[in-house]
Chain A
Amino acid sequence: MNRRKLHPLMQLAGWLVMLFLIGPVVIVLGTSVSDTTYLAFPPKGLTLRWFENVFAQDSFLSTFAISMQVAAGGTLLALVLGLAAAYALARYRTTIPAWYGSVFFLPFFIPEIVFGFSLLKTLIVLFELPVMPSLILGHAILCLPYMVRVIGASLASFDFSIKEAAVSLGMHPVRAFWTIVLPNIRSGMIAGVVLAFITSLNDMAVALFLTGPGISTLPIEVFTYVEQFFDPTVSAVSVLLMAVTTIVMILIERSLGLSKTIK
């Protein structure tokens, strides 16, 4: 790559965007180590006691575990459903009516608050599902649009005659799906999983309605904590959450081999 000189204004704009994106992260990081009982930036003093406080609170640890379980379950469910939907939409795009695909994007258009409330009415009140399955189901629906969209984009550039070639050479169609189709849309699946996992982990609105006594997710717990205390513990939780998310992403990338699929 040859480096071309950028116009100073372009450079400035670039730096501003970087600042805008990284700024909040730096501020949260700074406040989490501040030796004050309120959020201070730049940090005054240096301490790790807010991090200690996080691990001292059982509620943070237990809700974190639930958040991870919900994110994993919801993502997995969304992956299975989204893959099936995206595949059918791509494979039969000539025979399936065009509007059919849009159905999978409806969760995008409904305000999350309304969506959460309607889930409460149906899953918890009507079907009397326990909180955990409700959360997983709710997050699966929340993440489904990302899955269908991102996997669909991968499938759009997939040449189905490759699968036909495999079948014509004697491979069972189901096996051809696993060994021919999936490896070629892996990048879309990984992107979908990453998006879904983060969406689930960040969700407030849906969890707000679905969580009940004894079971809560980490964002809800943080929200409740902030209502009572406004010390840098929240920042520490945030930093830890960012760290965990990053680690999970790296693990997903390593195990599914994202780098192998990007050419």
Chain B
Amino acid sequence: MADHAVTLDNVVAHYGRTQVLHGLNLSVGEGELVSLLGASGCGKTTTLRLLAGFIQPTSGAITVAGRDITDLPPHKRDAGIVFQNYALFPHLTVADNVGFGLKQRRVPVAEREARVKAMLARVGLADYADRLPAALSGGQRQRVALARALVIDPPLLMFDEPLSNLDAKLRIDMRVEIRELQRANRRTAIYVTHDQEEAFSISDRVAIMHAGRIVQLDTPEVLYTRPVNAFVARFVGFDNLLPMTVIARDGDAVTVETVGGTLLTLSLGMTGPLPDRFLVGARPEGLEIVSAGPETIPGKTHTRSYLGRAYQYKVDTALGVLTANAPLAHDHGQDSAVGLRLNFEHCCILPYEEN
């Protein structure tokens, strides 16, 4: 554990009587950026607030840089936090906002001013030192918040949905900027977001959280191609989950049956080893629309929407409504009988579970 900058060891947390974290384990390496990704109420913000010391865990231990900080009050934790709504001090100038942490640490005035100036230059706000936060744009405020958190050289940087109040274009610019600053300063960072694209683009690893637990913690690449279960699969865009039962195995060829009695022959070379029951997670482009016939799942198209690069169809099948993309060249119209063929380049194999 010694080489981990941050560890959470079996952390349990409650809000009143409601348990919000169920034994969370997380280790973040030195200089690594790990995102906590999940819908609201999954416990990601709670985890961040535990790390910041704003709430206390019911049980478990938290260490930062090898030191147990579980019982340390928040003002002694040296946390650099970037808040969702910036949380700038409205009555202080930009320079005083950025210098706030240094002042608390009794850094001599001359050094403080120099460090604030350097940090403001770094985030491109050198000319705004004497402004009040109210006179800044959203992106500029976000930069001040970032500078304020970075200037104290925190062992751990924390981001609480820092970009959710910015417009789409700025959000993309800012996340690149955050990533660059974090890497240039070699800061260990925890980044909370509900935006999958943001988490995947910025992080070394992403922890997908659900109902107070980390469901999967992996690099974005692994998460995107090899989700561990149906929840993560759905989260990363495997919109179709098809239950399969193996009925015959013959070397590389495996015959499976799906809902509605459709038989399909799969190649282990394409899918990897298969248990007797499993789910196929298929992205919309993993279901090819062909004419109905053997080795396809029969269905009927009903709603077509134009995606630009492809048409997306809702297809009624015995498995329910599936989502399939087809190239623009093949217009299958609406209400026509079609077959769906699995393309394992865009599918994954998941452990079986009831819907």
Residues of A within 8 A of B (CB): 95, 159, 161-162, 164-173, 176, 180, 183-184, 263
Contacts and interface: CB of A to CB of B under 8 A. Distances in A.
Interface of B: 16, 52-54, 73-81, 83-85, 87-91, 100-101, 104-105, 134, 148, 152
Given A166-B100, A183-B91, 13 more contacts: A159-B85, A164-B54, A164-B83, A164-B87, A165-B87, A167-B74, A168-B79, A169-B101, A170-B75, A170-B78, A170-B152, A171-B100, A173-B73
Nearest to A94: B15
A173 B81 contact: no
A171 B104 contact: yes
Which of A164, A183, A263 is packed against the most chain B CB atoms within 10 Å? Answer: A164
Which of B54, B87, B88, B105 is packed against the most chain A CB atoms within 10 Å? Answer: B87
A89 to B, nearest CB: 17
A16 B156 CA distance: 64
Given A95-B16, A164-B52, A173 B87 contact: no
Q: Is the interface of A mostly helix, strand, loop or mixed?
A: helix
Contact of B83 (A165, A170, A176, A183): A165
A165 B89 contact: yes
Contacts of A165: 81, 83, 87-89, 148
Contacts of A183: 91
A161 B83 contact: yes
A169 B100 contact: yes
B87 A169 contact: no
B165 to A, nearest CB: 12
B93 to A, nearest CB: 14
Contacts of A166: 89, 100
15 contacts: A161-B84, A161-B85, A162-B87, A162-B88, A165-B81, A165-B83, A166-B89, A168-B79, A168-B80, A169-B101, A170-B78, A170-B105, A176-B75, A183-B91, A263-B134
Which 8 residue pairs of A and B lie closest in terms of their CB atoms, listed nearest first? A170-B104, A169-B101, A161-B87, A165-B87, A168-B81, A161-B83, A168-B79, A167-B75
Which of A95, A168, A176 is packed against the most chain B CB atoms within 10 Å? Answer: A168
A165 B85 CA distance: 11
